[in-house]
């Protein structure tokens, strides 16, 4: 089978003749099939799971302001703290966040250790 083609190279058109044997001839046409175009059907939206319920925080607990990993614990049980004292350091997305005492008091319990993964709202320290 002989085909005549026009090829453009660097902006110059060339008429070429190509001999193709039956085995190498394309089985299908590159032209679109006649008739109406298929209708586009949008995919179904992905189901997004609801957020987990917030963990209850006990009275006196200092909650985590975000999800992250504990990188430093600066207080111990029995220690007196003042409002604004640095209690815990959290790391999230390569950023450090300092958790400070919302009020003065005595540290009753430290609920996390260095390396602990915490969720937003989880109690970190209990103040009395």
Domains of the chain: 61-127 (2.40.50.100)
In this prediction the pTM is 0.56
**Cα 8 from Cα 66, distance rounded (Å):** 61
Q: Count H helices and E strands in the chain, helices first.
A: 0, 10
**Cα 124 from Cα 60, distance rounded (Å):** 10
Region of 39 (left: φ > 0; alpha: ψ -120 to 50; beta: rest) is: beta
pLDDT at 85: 95
With 70 as the cut, is the pLDDT of residue 26 above it? no
pLDDT digits (tens, 9 = 90+) for 88-109: 999 999 999 999 999 999 999 9
Provide the 10 A C-beta neighbour count for residue 63.
19
Kindly state the tokens that stand for 117.
């993964």
User: Which residue bears the tokens 């004292």?
Assistant: 85
pLDDT at 7: 84
């Amino acid at each position: 089978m002989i085909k005549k083609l026009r090829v453009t190279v660097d902006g110059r058109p060339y008429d070429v003749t190509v001999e193709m044997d039956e085995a190498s001839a394309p089985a299908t046409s590159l032209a679109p099939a006649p008739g109406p175009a298929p209708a586009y059907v949008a995919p179904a939206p992905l189901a997004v799971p609801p957020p987990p319920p917030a963990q209850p925080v006990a009275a006196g607990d200092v909650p985590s302001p975000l999800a992250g990993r504990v990188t430093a614990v600066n207080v111990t049980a029995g220690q007196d703290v003042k409002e604004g004292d640095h209690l815990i350091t959290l790391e999230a997305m390569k950023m450090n966040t300092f958790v400070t005492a919302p009020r003065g008091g005595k540290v009753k319990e430290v609920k996390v250790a260095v390396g602990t993964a915490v969720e937003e709202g989880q109690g970190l320290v209990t103040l009395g």
